[in-house]
Amino acid sequence: MTATKIGDERDLDRQVRRMLRREPDSLRFAEFADYLRRHGRVAEARALCERGLARHPGYATGQVVMGEILRDQEDPAKAEELWLEALRLDPLHPRAHLRLAELYLRRGDVERAVAAIEAVLLVSPGLPEAQALAESAQGEVARAARPEAPGAARRPARPAWLTAERFEELVGVVESCSAVESVALVSADGLALAGGVAACADPAGAAAAVAELVGQAGRLLTLIGGGLRGATICCRLGPARCVPLGDLTLLALMATGAQVGSFDVEIGEAIARLAARGQPERDRGSQETEEVDGWVNPQTEREVGGASTVR
């Protein structure tokens, strides 16, 4: 049932009373509280929602509705707390992201608003409210003289060692790893900046699809917790290894039969060595560490010294 089908207010009151009598533990408290709020009966909505959340504190939608009630009661700080709590319970809750985006836009916190809108568009790309907000945010973004459009991926920073002069060197280093057939360094827009995967029937399409996969999966896994340090796509004719390097993605096509858990380690170590060579002399000792110039080798941090038990 949706709120618009509930009918007139008298009918709604009957339904709420019946629901509370028959199903005191029902999660539908949030739906009814939302309906009451949208019809201006905010105090009743709050009472109903508070009772429901006392029974179901882990219900993310209930937290979102309570946040909306508090926003209507001019308590945006508390509303924000509840929407953030909803995201802790359900990191992909589109309505929680949406409400936070609206709040941040009103505050003029464009950066956080854009991040929240990106999250909504990622989780629910077809949500009309999100599209409208993205358009409205675009004006704010323009006013803030920021070049990127809301909804477009915000690009993570490239490691400082990975300068344009080193693109070909990086490709060469990875090409020299065993079982690697071809390597390309791909921009977030899917352009091959170095190397190439000519063996693909559609190299440009492949590069674009891989860049999109790495970008979207990275944002999705960041929402869930953690982020993305590397991905392997196993296909029938051989795997492909993708390593995010800030706004770039390294794509390596592997030979048929190459073993996951082996080539990814070798590629990770090769990149780490190259990154270490890019450090100033005084920092070169960090090659043996897990992090080089902001880039954490996803493999060495857990493979070095532990490979025999790990894989």
Partner 1 sequence: MGESSDGAGGGRRFDRPLEILTRVRGVLGGLVATGDGLPLAVHMHGDRNGEVLAAAAAAIGRLARRASDRLGRGAFELGVFDGPSYRFLVQPLSVGFLLVVAEPEANVHLISTEMSSSAAALNEAAVSLAVGRAR
Is 216 a binding residue for partner 1 by CB under 8 A? The answer is yes
Q: How far apart are the C-alpha atoms of 155 and 245, rounded to whole Å?
A: 11
- Tokens read off for 215: 């970008």
Tokens encoding 270: 């090769």
Q: Is 242 or 275 the residue whose CB approaches partner 1 more closely? A: 242
| 310 scored as a contact of partner 1 (CB under 8 A) | yes
Mark 223-242 with x for binding to partner 1 (rule: CB under 8 A) and - for no binding.
-xxxxxxxxxxxxxxx-x--
Which has the closest alpha carbon to 132: 101, 93, 171? 101
Binding segment for partner 1 (CB under 8 A), chosen from 78-86, 154-162, 221-229, 273-281, is 221-229
Q: What is the largest CA-CA distance in the chain?
A: 77
292 binds partner 1 (CB under 8 A): no
CA distances 1 to 4, 6, 15, 31, 220, Å, are 8, 8, 11, 9, 30
Q: Which is nearer to partner 1, 135 or 291 (CB)?
A: 291
**Binding of residue 119 to partner 1 (CB under 8 A):** no
Q: What's the burial of 92, exposed, middle or buried (CB within 10 Å: 0-12/13-18/19+)?
A: middle
Q: How far is the CB of 124 from partner 1 (least distance, A)?
A: 10
What string marks each residue from 42 to 81 as x (binds partner 1 by CB under 8 A) or -? ----------------------------------------
84 vs 233 by CB, closer to partner 1: 233
Three-class SS of residue 55?
Answer: helix
Site for partner 1 in 120-139 (CB under 8 A): 122-123
291-308 burial by CB neighbour count: b if 16+ within 10 A, else e? ebeebbbbbbeebbeeee
Produce one character per residue of 124-145: b if its CB has 16 or more CB atoms within 10 Å, e if not.
beebeebbebbebbbebbeeee
Which listed range, 28-36, 135-143, 150-158, 205-213, lies at the site for partner 1 (CB under 8 A)?
205-213
Q: Does 255 bind partner 1 (CB under 8 A)?
A: no
Gap between the Cα atoms of 78 and 80, Å rounded: 5
- Of 33 and 208, which CB lies nearer to partner 1 in the complex structure? 208
Is 201 a residue that touches partner 1 (CB under 8 A)? yes
Rounded Cα–Cα distance for residues 31 and 40 (Å): 15
Residues 105, 106, 112, CA angle at the centre, nearest 5°?
Answer: 30
Contacting residue, 45, 210, 271, 275, with partner 1 by CB under 8 A: 210
Contact flag: residue 198 with partner 1 (CB under 8 A): no
Amino acid at 253: L
> Which one of 141, 179, 183, 208 is in contact with partner 1 (CB under 8 A)?
208
Least CB distance to partner 1 at residue 170 (A): 19
Q: Which residues bind partner 1 (CB under 8 A)?
A: 89-92, 122-123, 197, 200-202, 205-206, 208-210, 212-213, 216-217, 220-221, 224-238, 240, 253, 259-261, 264, 296, 298, 302, 306, 310-311
